[in-house]
Amino acid sequence: MPASIDVTVVPSVLSFSAIGEKKSFSVQVYGPKIAQQPIISGAIVWKYGHYVVRSPLVVYNILPGTQYGYPSFSMSLKKPDSIDSSMHQKNGIVKHKY
């Protein structure tokens, strides 16, 4: 993501203690209207040892007059079910997709 886009993930660390346990996290994206590109993409990358989980992130402008025309939004995402249950902690970072 460009430096002008601020992405906050809460919590930034997820801890698991049981097989099949589910966790959720919140992503907030703030920044100016995107002028040069209609869509900017990146990813939230959770890492623990050799385990890596990537959650795609897409940012785009909402056209005025549409039902979703809010200046910013927040949504809750859950961890994918296919993750190895031996993971106990994941550090959240934002990584730019090239």
Residue 62 has phi, psi (to 5 degrees) of -95, 135
Q: Residue 37: which of 64, 70, 59, 54 has the closest Cα? A: 59
11: in domain: yes
Q: What is the pTM of this model?
A: 0.53
50: in domain: yes
1: in domain: no
Per-residue pLDDT at 34 exceeds 90: no
> What percent of the chain has pLDDT above 90?
10
The domain of 34 spans 6-96
Look at residue 67 in the predicted model and tell me its pLDDT.
Answer: 59
Q: Residue 6: which of 22, 26, 29 has the closest Cα? A: 29
Look at residue 2 in the predicted model and tell me its pLDDT.
Answer: 72
Query: In total, how many domains does the chain have?
Result: 1
Q: Which residue has the higher pLDDT, 69 or 58?
A: 58
> For 63-93, what is each residue's pLDDT tens digit?
666 655 444 444 544 544 444 333 333 444 4
In contact, 86 and 48? CB cutoff 8 Å = no
